Chains A and B, each alone.
Chain A
Amino acid sequence: QKEVEQDPGPLSVPEGAIVSLNCTYSNSAFQYFMWYRQYSRKGPELLMYTYSSGNKEDGRFTAQVDKSSKYISLFIRDSQPSDSATYLCAAYGNNRLAFGKGNQVVVIP
C-alpha cells in the first residue's frame, strides 16, 4: 500500500464548477500536507500546504486535512480553464515526503 493514495482518474468539469480532489494517507508520522499543481510539460509546483488537521484557504483554493480519518482534500471554487492541470497531494513527516499519483483536472470553457 502506498503511503499516500490518490485516485488518478481524470476529472472534467465545466467552467465555474467546484472541483473536489482528495487523498488518503497511512503514515501517522505525517504532519504537513501539501498540494502540488503540474501543468503539461512542466514540473510540479507547490500550490498550498496545511499543518495537522484543519482548513486553509487561498483565494479560490481550500485545502482540508482530517487527521482522524487520514483524509486530505482540495477544493477549487469557480474553476477556470487555467486550472486545467494535474494535482498531486503530498504528505511530509520525519524527513520523509510522499506523493500521491496525481489527478488530472480538465476545466471545459
Chain B
Amino acid sequence: DADVTQTPRNRITKTGKRIMLECSQTKGHDRMYWYRQDPGLGLRLIYYSFDVKDINKGEISDGYSVSRQAQAKFSLSLESAIPNQTALYFCATSAPGRRITDTQYFGPGTRLTVL
C-alpha cells in the first residue's frame, strides 16, 4: 500500500460541498483508476486514465470529475457532494506493458461520509 497513497484517509463533509481526494504513486505506472466500494455492490469504476493526456469515464462517473496532474498523481473531485456518495474510495495503478494481465495495485482507501 505504501507505493500508492491516498489523502485524506477519512473525510466527513456536508451536502453541497466540493471535495477533492488525492492519489499519488511511486510505482512508475502509467495507468491509474478511481473506484468506489459500497457494501453489497462491490468495487465500481468511476474514472480511469491510461496516461497523463488520457481520461476515461467508468461505469459511475456522474457527479465526479478527475484530473491527472502528472504520471504519479490522479485526483478525484466531487463537485457538489450528496449523501449517496458516502462510500469507501480506492485509487489503483497498473502497468500492463508486457504483463499478461492487468494487475492493479490499490491504495489504502479514503472513507468519505457526506451528511
Contacts and interface: CB of A to CB of B under 8 A. Distances in A.
- Is this pair of chains taken from one and the same complex? yes
Interface of A: 6, 8, 32, 34, 41-46, 49, 51, 88, 92, 95, 97, 99-102
A2 B40 CA distance: 13
Contacts of B12: none
Given A88-B42, A101-B42, A42 B108 contact: yes
11 contacts: A34-B101, A41-B109, A43-B1, A43-B92, A43-B107, A43-B108, A44-B106, A45-B106, A49-B103, A51-B100, A92-B101
Contacts, number: 49
B70 interface: no
A32 B101 CA distance: 6
Interface in B70-113: 90, 92, 100-109
A88 B37 CA distance: 12
Contacts of A100: 42
A46 to B, nearest CB: 5
Contacts of B104: 44, 46, 97
Given A45-B106, A49-B101, 9 more contacts: A6-B42, A34-B101, A43-B1, A44-B104, A45-B105, A97-B104, A100-B42, A101-B40, A101-B42
